[in-house]
Structure 1
Amino acid sequence: MQKTRIICTIGPATESYEMLRKMYDAGMDIVRLNMSHGTHESHTKVIKHIKTLNKKVEFPIPILLDTQGPEIRTGDLVQDLNLQEGTIVSIAARGPLDVEESSIHINYAEIMESVNVGDKITVDNGLINFEILEKRDRLMQCRVIDGGVLKSKRHVNLPGIRVNLPAITQKDEQDIAFGLAADVDFIALSFVREAEDIRRLRHLMGHKAGRVKIIAKIEDQEGVRNLEDIIQEADGIMVARGDLGAEINLEDLPNVQRRIVRLCAEYGKRVIVATHLLESMIHNPIPTRAEVTDVANAVYEEVDAVMLSGETTVGKYPIKCVEHLRKIAIKTEAIPGLQFAKNLQRTKDKQQLAIAAVQLAGGLQAKGIVVITRRGIMADFVSNCRPFFTNIYAFTNMSQSRRTMTLNRGVFPFRINFSSDPEKTLQTAFRILKEREHFQMGEKVVIISDVLAQHRVDSIQIRDIP
């Protein structure tokens, strides 16, 4: 299996049990439920399918719920608008729409106070762009910079402008409550602008905070400015390149992505690269060469996961998409990456222990690193070190910890019952490694744990598989 995890967004093309099984067999590790689309009823069906599937597969599939966030969209149109470059159009804020005066409607009431003459309005992920020429009352006169066909309810970005909308909308609160009741494993919070957004979500989560992991989506300039504070507060970061690429200069996007990956490595947080990985495969059976290189670069940067969106929701070739991602990951993982995590700057005592275990495993050419952990914290620390020559085999007695550890690069998690006798716990782990991972008698493993003692003493052992 590849070390880099593959996250697949589920939609009409993949929501059946049969397709989910095929996606898992192709290499899917985690499913994403996009709350911008579908209903609680349709998402419930997917969750039930995943829970059924998890009883039959070797490694469980965790569920990531992705909130819609404070979206700004254009309004309904009687018919599509064919906007020509250079054309002057009127854009109206929320309110009664005068079809004789206005050609485009935006559902953000405070847009008139937020923007100035000369600012840019970006629609449909940057495909259509306007420049504001004049503001009067609730109307703006705008020039079409980049034209195209505008459909109803297209997403709107206001690059460089702070949008006065709550980080967690009323819809988001309802969706989060739905996800927690359904025992999802991750919540990805859209348009995180500051660390306080994460703290508010954690408060909403109540007693499930800490068990359900929080992924902060970086999608605008304010999120980039507050990046370090956000990383420290969240469990992981998603580089949401769709909106982020519309909010910042496109030529800055690769450097921002690399900075996010590096800081996540330094702080020991999970990182996901998302959007447009294999976009051409929505319609075509093979990816472009540039897409292959883009995916390989993310793997080379040693991200924890890469994520598919439209490719697996409405695309024609969802299985092939997953197969291509897996092949690219396996080939790229065969050579040393940038190894940002080798220079962990924010180390704790347990992180130092993990570094020692990884170095020891490398020196011994150990078959694997075995982590005994309850909540997955020690597995996080070992994964942060990005061991190149060996995999990490984590054993926990908690099902949700097992699922959340799936996001960690290079971690293969198992659930076992822990014994009051530490040696019995280890013998159970050894038996599973021989039966499921084909370990051979006499092969060396490095064991790291904070639970193999009555008083939770951190320890490292070198053992031969019995």
Structure 2
Amino acid sequence: MTQSNIKIVATIGPATESKKAIRELIKLGVNVFRFNLKHNDLKWHKEKVILVKEVAKSLNRRIAVLIDLQGPQVRLYMPFDKIEVKIGEEVLFDQSVFKVKKKGFFITHPQIVNFLKPNDFFVVDDGRYFFHLEKRGNKFVAVSHQNCIIENKKSINFPEIDFSLKAITKRDVEAIKMLSKTDVDFVALSFVRYKKDIDSLKKIMKRYGMECSIVSKIETRKAIDNLDEIIENSDGIMVARGDLGVELPVEKVPFYQKLIIKRTLKKNKFVIAATQFLQSMIKNRVPTRAEISDIANTVYDLTDSIMLSGETAYGDYPFDAVKILQKTISFNEKLIDDDTRKRFDFKVKGLQESVCASAYEMYLKMKENLKSRLAGFLIFTRTGQTAKLVSRYHPLLPIFTITQDEKTANSLVPYFGVRTFVDKRMAKKAINNLIIRENIKKLKSKKLVKKNQFLITLHDDIWEPEGGTTTIRIVKIK
């Protein structure tokens, strides 16, 4: 299948945990496998991370692994499997519910009660059910705003209340410790609100020797308030529309999706758009037209990656969901306005950014004049920075990127259009004509480029530790 420029992130779960299923997902175009640590034990995650990398190696495909930390998600709990609540009915909201066995529930983080007061509202089950609090004596009761059936251990959110919970839980620390020796490429931090949350994660990762890129999930009001500093201190951003749509009025989510993507690209970081893109395909083989429009609009927002969650983790049609996503991306990304600078006021600072901006300008002119004879970009980079700088412009041709080690190559997987390869000589040698020719020959053997096509090549003749791209060459493929 033709590889799209926008990357696909698929969540692994009961529907796709087998070797055969993983193999099929990779063949269908999945680039990143997400492991949701809210589910399954850590031993399962470790085994499946290893399996994904083994299957990817057998297929000679570069596949990245992202572990998604559980974080301090608040859930309700009660001495029943479920309770039925009528509109206007009061139910006990107190830990004594376990002693008196009255209809009601409590929360997994009791300290939150210290921040609550009468008339505060909260939502249950990903925003499906709305309650407000009232005081009866020294206890709270929750008053339902609709008829509902509440199941045990469902999520509960207090959108307008700022309470302090540590961003990293004990289970998260255990996960980092156990998975630090596996081939994990990205760690996603849930419910991040401040820069200090990211700093805490970095310290824990350093303690256990885990060298990964950090993806901050934007899913709280505080994260929106502190968006710029969170982007600045992260390697990538995830627009986690599920919890964000609970924390904010749902009609505001599309606006904030566009805002987050725009600000992330301007900071030269990658962005993953997530949640409910093909939710109906968990049970149905055919998606809704609204879901297809949602994917297309996210493509036009210029995201780097799109993520599937339940669709591939436990859905009935995981492979069909990936096929539909791939087809929708591939068709619509071709319609992106070539000159994305019209939409983004990219600030160009310093030599390296100037070189990359010039390369993009050259791409626009050559694509117009040479049509199909322009094969794309060929970038030689040690840190990956040059590839990131070109990727943020979202050119519609591949950004073939050569770097010196697997870790750097994998860190570039979620970026728009970037396809990475490793040449270990780059760790010691300056770029020369031989290295350029041999890497072009490799691309040609993989049928990624053709004879008589052209590549816009970026590199530095005298290799420096970082930020050393000074040279643009137009190379004709022989």
Q: What pairs with 1:316-331 in structure 2 (closer than 5 Å)? A: 316-331=316-331
Give the counterpart letter for 2:63 in structure 1.
I
Is residue 265 of structure 1 aligned with residue 265 of structure 2?
yes
Matches of 1:236 and 1:25, distance apart in 2: 25
Q: CA deviation at 1:212?
A: 1.2
Q: CA deviation at 1:382?
A: 1.0
- Preserved CA contact (<8 Å) 2:79 2:98: no
Which residue does the alignment assign to 2:72? Answer: 70
- Preserved CA contact (<8 Å) 1:129 1:147: no
Matches of 2:22 and 2:406, distance apart in 1: 21
- Preserved CA contact (<8 Å) 2:176 2:208: no
Distance of aligned partners of 1:269 and 1:348 in 2 relative to their CA distance in 1, 3 Å threshold = farther
Q: CA deviation at 1:19?
A: 0.2
Is residue 205 of structure 1 aligned with residue 215 of structure 2?
no
Q: Report the secondary structure of 2:425's partner residue.
A: coil
Q: CA deviation at 1:458?
A: 2.4
Q: CA deviation at 1:440?
A: 2.3
Q: What pairs with 1:22-421 in structure 2 (closer than 5 Å)? A: 22-93=24-95, 97-101=98-102, 103-134=104-135, 136-137=137-138, 139-206=139-206, 211-337=211-337, 339=340, 342-345=344-347, 347-365=349-367, 366-388=374-396, 390-418=397-425, 420=429
Give the counterpart letter for 2:118 in structure 1.
V
1:409-450 per-residue CA deviation (whole Å, 9 max, x = no partner) reads 111111223263622211221111211134222221111124
Give the counterpart letter for 1:425 in structure 2.
I
Q: CA deviation at 1:96?
A: 7.3
Which residue does the alignment assign to 2:16? Answer: 14
Matches of 2:328 and 2:111, distance apart in 1: 45
Matches of 2:471 and 2:319, distance apart in 1: 42
Q: CA deviation at 1:56?
A: 2.4
- Preserved CA contact (<8 Å) 1:186 1:212: yes
Q: CA deviation at 1:351?
A: 2.1
Matches of 2:454 and 2:194, distance apart in 1: 45
Distance of aligned partners of 1:158 and 1:459 in 2 relative to their CA distance in 1, 3 Å threshold = same
Structure 2 unmatched runs, 5+: 368-373
Is residue 433 of structure 1 aligned with residue 443 of structure 2?
yes
- Preserved CA contact (<8 Å) 1:92 1:104: yes
Matches of 1:300 and 1:408, distance apart in 2: 15
Distance of aligned partners of 1:348 and 1:221 in 2 relative to their CA distance in 1, 3 Å threshold = farther
Distance of aligned partners of 1:308 and 1:214 in 2 relative to their CA distance in 1, 3 Å threshold = same
Structure 1 unmatched runs, 5+: none
Give the counterpart letter for 2:131 in structure 1.
F
Which residue does the alignment assign to 2:474? Answer: 462
1:122-163 per-residue CA deviation (whole Å, 9 max, x = no partner) reads 1110112211122643x3122111332211111111111112
TM-score, normalised on structure 1? 0.94
- Preserved CA contact (<8 Å) 1:13 1:313: yes
Q: CA deviation at 1:45?
A: 2.0
1:170-199 per-residue CA deviation (whole Å, 9 max, x = no partner) reads 211111222322130000000010111112
Q: CA deviation at 1:350?
A: 1.9
Q: Report the secondary structure of 2:14's partner residue.
A: coil
Q: Report the secondary structure of 2:4's partner residue.
A: coil
- Preserved CA contact (<8 Å) 1:160 1:247: yes
Matches of 2:209 and 2:162, distance apart in 1: 28
Q: Report the secondary structure of 1:89's partner residue.
A: strand
Give the counterpart letter for 2:98 in structure 1.
L
- Preserved CA contact (<8 Å) 1:6 1:27: yes
Matches of 2:298 and 2:424, distance apart in 1: 36
Matches of 2:276 and 2:400, distance apart in 1: 31
1:249-291 per-residue CA deviation (whole Å, 9 max, x = no partner) reads 1111111111101101111111111111100000000111000
Matches of 2:208 and 2:43, distance apart in 1: 23
- Preserved CA contact (<8 Å) 1:211 1:401: no
Distance of aligned partners of 1:438 and 1:193 in 2 relative to their CA distance in 1, 3 Å threshold = closer
Give the counterpart letter for 2:376 in structure 1.
G
- Preserved CA contact (<8 Å) 1:267 1:346: no
Distance of aligned partners of 1:410 and 1:208 in 2 relative to their CA distance in 1, 3 Å threshold = farther
- Preserved CA contact (<8 Å) 2:348 2:357: no
Distance of aligned partners of 1:184 and 1:342 in 2 relative to their CA distance in 1, 3 Å threshold = same
Matches of 2:471 and 2:40, distance apart in 1: 47
Matches of 1:209 and 1:347, distance apart in 2: 33
Is residue 453 of structure 1 aligned with residue 454 of structure 2?
no
Which residue does the alignment assign to 2:370? Answer: none
Query: Aligned-residue CA RMSD in angstroms?
Result: 2.0
Give the counterpart letter for 1:169 in structure 2.
T
Give the counterpart letter for 1:397 in structure 2.
Q
Give the counterpart letter for 2:71 in structure 1.
G
Matches of 1:249 and 1:81, distance apart in 2: 27
- Preserved CA contact (<8 Å) 1:417 1:425: no
After alignment, is 128-137 or 339-348 more displaced?
A: 339-348
Matches of 1:353 and 1:4, distance apart in 2: 24
- Preserved CA contact (<8 Å) 1:127 1:147: no
Q: CA deviation at 1:302?
A: 1.0
After alignment, is 202-211 or 17-26 more displaced?
A: 202-211
- Preserved CA contact (<8 Å) 1:77 1:151: no
Give the counterpart letter for 1:398 in structure 2.
D
Aligned-pair identity in percent equals: 29
- Preserved CA contact (<8 Å) 2:97 2:105: no
Matched pairs, number: 462
Matches of 1:457 and 1:263, distance apart in 2: 24
